[in-house]
Structure 1
Amino acid sequence: MKYYLVAGEASGDLHGANLIKALKATDQNADFRFFGGDKMLAEGGTLVKHYAEMAFMGFTEVLINLRTIFKNLKQCKADILNYQPDVLILIDFPGFNLKIAEFAKQHGIKVCYYISPKVWAWNQKRVLKIKRIVDKMFCILPFEVDFYKTWGMEVDYVGNPLLDEISRFKPDQTFIERNKLTNKPIIALLPGSRKQEIERLLLPMLSVMPQFENYQFVIAAAPTFSKEYYQTFIKDEQVSLVFADTYNLLNVAHAAIVASGTATLETALFKVPQVVVYKGGSISIAIARLLVKIKFISLVNLIMDRKVVTELIQEKCNTANITSELKDIVEGEGRITMLNNYNELLLKMGSAGASEKTAELIRLFLIENKKI
């Protein structure tokens, strides 16, 4: 079978890689072609475009980069038509992927969507379009099933793919020594993988260091950027960089400051107390505040449907607030409470196996549609 996958950011690359691995287990003749990243490439197949050329964050950034986005869309559509896959599998990244889904549907290509767009957050009427252009939807958040039902759409809840990746993680016992870290407790800094995130969040993260002299700070660096790039922010500070090894870092971290996104859930699953931060362009944030109708931005709080981790957004993301919240979770009652809440989160999340469940559901879908 021929599978075409589209993932447009680091988290999508991770989930895409796990899904490719699971699909290979169900289909010995599987052939893969994709927009994705290094993790997907490592599983085999042909990488057409790397997500580093595609990920733009916020309304303003999207507008500035419209020409590049349209160029990427054109390339993706042409490549799909040329490849003629048995199924198109779209992974999150809705601004791009819903356009690709509509195009594929027009050309008679079956569309599976893995990791639902966050239509429950804003413009819920998009579900009507999704019902029309997506053949199968696989969700990774339990509450999404009931949400889609209210719009008359049946979807499958498959669990969360992060559990798959974490269950396969094997700690590197040489991590501390290999990265020349000290014996001080580690505060991990996860500023994200996009340039806009790093440039807005890393300096506020680093600014709290003078208040935590008994800790060492370690940045989870994205492999798409160089050491020299990060050095422009670090300057003369005593900060360590760890490239493409976030799980080993979280495995030994005492606490963390984390950019809002998938990393907040990963950090919680490693049971690392965290402060969540986010800064966007002023215009983007103004538009988002008008459109987005959710109580929280972090996945941890959304899944728990209550505040578990503190979210410092925009002007609240400053040295004083980050320092205060971080002090609350490096020791004492605040730390104990967060760790207890993490245990409840783990129960809600369930067990690993999302990728295998999704692969099997895709196989059954293709059988039903006489593709197999």
Structure 2
Amino acid sequence: MKYYIIAGEPSGDLHASNLMKSLVKEDNDFDCRFWGGDLMKKVGGEMVRHYNETAFMGIKEVLVNLGKIRANFKLCKSDLLKYNPDVLVLVDYPGFNLRMAEFAHKKGIKVFYYISPKIWAWNTGRVKKIKAYVDKMFTILPFETDFYKTHQVPIDYVGNPVLDAIENRPHKNEDLETFKERNQLDNRPIVALLAGSRQQELNNVLPVMISMIKHFPDYQFVIAGAPSFTIDDYKPFIQDEEVKVIFNETYELVQQAHGALVTSGTATLETALLECPQIVCYKMWGGKTITKFVKRFILKVKYISLVNLIVNKEAVKEIIQDDLNETNVQLELEKLLNNQDYRINIFNHYNQLHQIMGKPGTSDRAAKLMVKALRS
């Protein structure tokens, strides 16, 4: 069968690539065109656009690139019709993918959505579009499954693809000494900095993370380089600070770190599943007035990190918006690194998370259900 897959970010590229591997095993006639990244390209099929050419985040960046965005929509629509797939598979990336879902549905093309956009957190009104234009949702989180059931959206819960990615990670059994030697790190314990994959996340969060270096000289701070960036993107923030950037080894870094500062997103869940104590740091544009408005009228959930949302309690500390400053992060990081009771409490919550999340195999389960639905 013919699959048209759209992923617009590094995490989408990772999970879509694993889904493609499973679809290849499940469907002997697998054929694919896609919008995504290098990991999807390694599996096979034909890439139409790399996510580096399509990911525009934030109001300013969107306005500056309106012409490119319109051109991308035009190209995607014409390419989709020309290819005429059996199904359009959408992976997160709601700003683009929900519009493509509407277009494909109106053209009579079946639409599957794998990895739901976080409409349960920010914009519950979008569920109407999903119900109208998506033939089936393949959900990856227990609480979002309940959300879609409430709105009578056709769903299959398949577990979380992060479990597959972590299970299949390189250097899974590597020890700390080998990791440090391989990456030319010294003997001090590691604090991992996961500052996100978007420029505004670097601008708003990384400076506070970097400010911790001078307060904890007995630790070495290491930035997990995002695949969408190069070392030149980090240099303005690092300047003369003693911090190393390691690319393409986020899981390996987190696995060996004594603690981590993590920008909200999938990375918080990955860090927890890798058993690394963390503090969640997040700040978007705007001051106190914007923060109050967002909390009151836009944000629909109690927490912002997936870890806390899944266990439904504050398993890890969230420092967000105007509270995200050097003093607050320093006080919390001191406890995270040196208070054994504090760390044990986090590990206990991580055990609960593991029990809720279940076992790997998400990609295979999703592929089997997709192929079964298409053949029926």
Return the letter of the residue paired with 1:293: K
Matched, 1:199 2:203: yes
Alpha-carbon distance between aligned partners in 1 of 2:187 and 2:7, rounded to the nearest angstrom? 38
Matched, 1:329 2:336: yes
1:305 Cα deviation (Å)?
1.1
Query: Which runs of 5 or more residues in structure 2 are unaligned?
Result: none
Aligned residue number for residue 315 of structure 1: 322
More moved, 24-33 vs 67-76: 67-76
SS of residue paired to 2:203: helix
SS of residue paired to 1:125: helix
Percent of paired sites with the same residue: 53
Q: Which of 338, 342, 353 is equivalent to 1:345? A: 353
Aligned residue number for residue 111 of structure 1: 111
| 1:247-284 CA-partner distances (Å, limit 9, x unpaired) | 11011111000111110100000010111111212187
More moved, 125-134 vs 317-326: 125-134
| 1:125-159 CA-partner distances (Å, limit 9, x unpaired) | 32222111101110001122222222222311100
Report the aligned-residue RMSD. 1.7
Alpha-carbon distance between aligned partners in 2 of 1:321 and 1:71, rounded to the nearest angstrom? 44
Alpha-carbon distance between aligned partners in 2 of 1:34 and 1:126, rounded to the nearest angstrom? 24
Query: 5 Å matches for 1:1-372?
Result: 1-59=1-59, 61-171=61-171, 173=174, 174-282=178-286, 288-289=294-295, 290-332=297-339, 333-368=341-376
SS of residue paired to 1:241: strand
1:113·1:138 contact (CA, 8 Å) conserved in 2?
yes
2:213·2:242 contact (CA, 8 Å) conserved in 1?
no
Q: 1:286 to 1:33 in 2, by over 3 A?
A: farther
Alpha-carbon distance between aligned partners in 2 of 1:153 and 1:20, rounded to the nearest angstrom? 24
1:7·1:92 contact (CA, 8 Å) conserved in 2?
yes
1:60·1:281 contact (CA, 8 Å) conserved in 2?
no
Q: 1:124 to 1:230 in 2, by over 3 A?
A: closer
1:59 Cα deviation (Å)?
4.7
Alpha-carbon distance between aligned partners in 2 of 1:120 and 1:185, rounded to the nearest angstrom? 38
Return the letter of the residue paired with 1:360: K
1:119 Cα deviation (Å)?
2.4
Query: Which runs of 5 or more residues in structure 1 are unaligned?
Result: none
Q: TM-score, normalised by structure 1?
A: 0.94
More moved, 339-348 vs 127-136: 127-136
More moved, 295-304 vs 59-68: 59-68
1:219·1:239 contact (CA, 8 Å) conserved in 2?
yes
Alpha-carbon distance between aligned partners in 2 of 1:183 and 1:302, rounded to the nearest angstrom? 35
Alpha-carbon distance between aligned partners in 2 of 1:55 and 1:115, rounded to the nearest angstrom? 17
1:14 Cα deviation (Å)?
0.9
Alpha-carbon distance between aligned partners in 1 of 2:10 and 2:117, rounded to the nearest angstrom? 16
Alpha-carbon distance between aligned partners in 2 of 1:335 and 1:56, rounded to the nearest angstrom? 37
Q: 1:153 to 1:274 in 2, by over 3 A?
A: same
Q: What is the aligned length?
A: 368
| 1:298-340 CA-partner distances (Å, limit 9, x unpaired) | 1001111111111111211111111111111112211111111
Return the letter of the residue paired with 2:73: L
Return the letter of the residue paired with 2:69: I
Alpha-carbon distance between aligned partners in 2 of 1:36 and 1:128, rounded to the nearest angstrom? 26
SS of residue paired to 1:144: helix
Alpha-carbon distance between aligned partners in 2 of 1:131 and 1:124, rounded to the nearest angstrom? 12
Alpha-carbon distance between aligned partners in 2 of 1:81 and 1:328, rounded to the nearest angstrom? 56
Q: 1:65 to 1:301 in 2, by over 3 A?
A: farther
Alpha-carbon distance between aligned partners in 2 of 1:182 and 1:228, rounded to the nearest angstrom? 23
Alpha-carbon distance between aligned partners in 2 of 1:191 and 1:145, rounded to the nearest angstrom? 28
